[in-house]
Structure 1
């Protein structure tokens, strides 16, 4: 069995330990010869890198492993897969993405609304640089991208690299939802055959078939209405995530046709969500004071003790495992089903062909083979078309250095609506992102 060369970009992420553990768990099904991690933040990368050395010594002793901040060293080696989870600007900029809109009475969220716009404008440039670096020496490497906001990044990359069929944008939130459904139904989520449509962080499950072809969605809907909804790993989640999943019950009660992606709460109930958000303490603060501190403290402890015994950071989570089972399906031409982002091209027949939609697809050695959804109802079509226009205008604002298109994008966003507020928040975000964004004229 071939052993792969893998690069993790954003190796200093709090999500990396789970990915590294998943590599160990799946070493027989996705064997790796050489793994490199790269991150521009030397301190973060060192903490995770030293943890990784101990983990691999215990569980993956024949793996060749290095970590670095040298981008040329990372990209110029032979590569089969590049796993990307960058956060341009780090948590410091995420905090601004969330707090600047909240200070103006608008939703402040990492990937939605003005915060997502801000983050997307930062992410595009770094993702383009990454693709250029990888393709300079590795024409055939698969780039599996987690970088957010994935919808904006996916649209930008498809426009800039229309013929590069080895860039695949994925998101673990549909996978998290499937695993949560599995726990609620007491079933293996990998046995589900889901039908899903939408944009990233903006979609719905219409059916959830079991091995016999029976649709489990009606039963699941009733379970949610009767008992609420929690993430599969709710014991490890911060309170804000528990609150987010809890909103699914309200969405299903109001719009019972389908089961929603959790992020739809920000677009359907912006006033209700806004009431619960604290402008002085956002999810960025919760992560920095919570998960980030826990992960880095645990990694330092492992490195100090030279042992993972009893460590709370060593676990196989959905984020880490999902990207690996996606890679396995591609590497071995398995054609397994996943929810991924692809160009529409008639999959959702009454949406624009060039939209980067999120649907179920079989993943093969030649890429995704998506399943058509057909025509969707007017309500969902209207929501998606407005969100698609916002995302497209965001990408065009970046590529054309266009202030007017940035203003149009934010005005269209359902969390903003007001052109006056859109201009106010845009001007504040321009100032905050002067070291990251192109100059808008």
Structure 2
């Protein structure tokens, strides 16, 4: 089975390749990398070479000559691109901050700007997949994942599935804090109800062999303080919500505190990653060889994970991530589980970004939601869920209106739709601010 990775020079690609090497099923027979930056993809290819050394059944890796070469004959396509690179991310963060609103890669005005820039490229990819590999499954890693998956689904329908590691990381951490055996997640004894949009969802039920664990967890201050989301939101607020929110909801629930922590920051997350990863690729290319590239990559990876969402942690008390927080769900493990479920027609349950159907009746059937799905040879089918509370549904409806307006704007080059996407976002407090952000983004593009 051939796997193509678009954005093959991406920093996290070795995590995916390491998962493939550890896969006892040996599902993938070839990995094809494609990237618009030849230096980056050459460095990552070196890291993969080092990972494969000494492995009894290494997976062959090939760097494609172009997009069409990468897609032809693919069975699965991982789309993990970053249009505009980290320089684009810096602009997405700094432009809103200059107007006094949150700048973040996937949330708020920054997420809209990133989507507007990325969607046209994602649509082109979808069209080339449809032409060259119509039987392939596209697994979308590209952020903003919900928005980009929704755009690609206009071309590929249900054959594009978006993934994120935040929901599964939340489920794992909550289960551990509630005293559940970690193996219960893998063997199916753990049940969970999770629903929302990408980077905007809630874990509303957690059961072990039919016994509900969430109320007891919410009542236990010490248990809540033992994992990332418990510390991030605080026990009192979580009990009021009656659910465990995705970590990115901190930007919505504590917008003032988060904005204060980042407004005057000397370095945004994008600027940190631009320096960190730019330095990694420069040093690895100069050092030459798989061993040096791999050693540099490992050191850089750990630093990246330890500093994840640092501003939100600062706004909620300044705590550090521990080993359980760093485990998370893992894009690599989610993607591999998804591939296995499709190939093996296993009926595995995973939290994915898929077309809504009737899961949330208030949303359009073709709107992308993030929820629990049953996965088999047919793809991912969203499962029915309990009705959403008014506050959850209201936030979902407003952000989905933003996402669909951004897709419309990027598809048809419609400035009015772009302004609507920015102005309607809950984290943008004025249409005038939205207009200035849009104008500055156009000037600095």
Deviations 1:63-120 (A, max 9, x none): 32212452232122x1111111111111111011111111111101000111101110
Shift of 1:130: 1.2
Shift of 1:364: 0.5
Partner of 2:22: 25
Shift of 1:35: 1.2
The answer as to 2:217 corresponding to 1:220 is yes
Shift of 1:270: 1.6
Partner of 2:271: 285
Partner of 2:171: 178
The answer as to 2:367 corresponding to 1:355 is yes
TM-score w.r.t. the length of structure 1 is: 0.86
The answer as to 2:141 corresponding to 1:146 is yes
Partner of 1:408: 420
SS for the counterpart of 1:164 is helix
Q: 1:380 aligns with which of 392, 405, 412?
A: 392
SS for the counterpart of 1:320 is helix
Matches within 5 A, 1:409-424: 409-424=421-436
Quickly say closer, same or farther: Cα 1:220–1:289, change in 2 above 3 A. farther
Partner of 1:239: none
Partner of 1:367: 379
Determine if contact 2:158/2:354 at 8 Å carries over to the other structure: no
Determine if contact 2:21/2:59 at 8 Å carries over to the other structure: no
Shift of 1:44: 0.9
Determine if contact 2:35/2:41 at 8 Å carries over to the other structure: yes
Deviations 1:170-215 (A, max 9, x none): 21211222232244346323343211111111110110122x1112
Determine if contact 2:195/2:385 at 8 Å carries over to the other structure: yes
TM-score w.r.t. the length of structure 2 is: 0.85
Q: 1:49 aligns with which of 26, 45, 50?
A: 45
Segments of structure 2 that go 5 or more residues without pairing to the other structure are 303-326
Determine if contact 1:349/1:373 at 8 Å carries over to the other structure: no
The answer as to 2:112 corresponding to 1:80 is no
- Distance in 1 (CA, whole Å) between partners of 2:7 and 2:144 is 15
SS for the counterpart of 2:29 is strand
Partner of 1:169: 162
Quickly say closer, same or farther: Cα 1:182–1:25, change in 2 above 3 A. farther
Q: 1:276 aligns with which of 261, 286, 293?
A: 261
Matches within 5 A, 1:417-432: 417-432=429-444
Quickly say closer, same or farther: Cα 1:260–1:74, change in 2 above 3 A. same
Quickly say closer, same or farther: Cα 1:397–1:333, change in 2 above 3 A. same
Aligned residues: 413
RMSD: 2.7
Determine if contact 2:200/2:249 at 8 Å carries over to the other structure: yes
Deviations 1:213-241 (A, max 9, x none): 1122123324467653545xxxxxxxxxx
Matches within 5 A, 1:7-26: 7-26=4-23
Determine if contact 1:54/1:306 at 8 Å carries over to the other structure: no
Quickly say closer, same or farther: Cα 1:254–1:75, change in 2 above 3 A. same
Partner of 1:325: 337
Determine if contact 1:340/1:359 at 8 Å carries over to the other structure: yes
Matches within 5 A, 1:252-267: 252-253=237-238, 255-267=240-252
Segments of structure 1 that go 5 or more residues without pairing to the other structure are 232-243, 434-441
- Distance in 2 (CA, whole Å) between partners of 1:290 and 1:178 is 30
Determine if contact 1:48/1:299 at 8 Å carries over to the other structure: no
SS for the counterpart of 1:339 is strand
Determine if contact 1:251/1:260 at 8 Å carries over to the other structure: no
Determine if contact 1:204/1:260 at 8 Å carries over to the other structure: yes
SS for the counterpart of 2:341 is helix
The answer as to 2:167 corresponding to 1:204 is no
- Distance in 2 (CA, whole Å) between partners of 1:204 and 1:138 is 35
Q: Which moved more, 1:213-222 or 1:40-49?
A: 213-222
Determine if contact 2:47/2:291 at 8 Å carries over to the other structure: no
Quickly say closer, same or farther: Cα 1:65–1:281, change in 2 above 3 A. same
Quickly say closer, same or farther: Cα 1:300–1:204, change in 2 above 3 A. farther
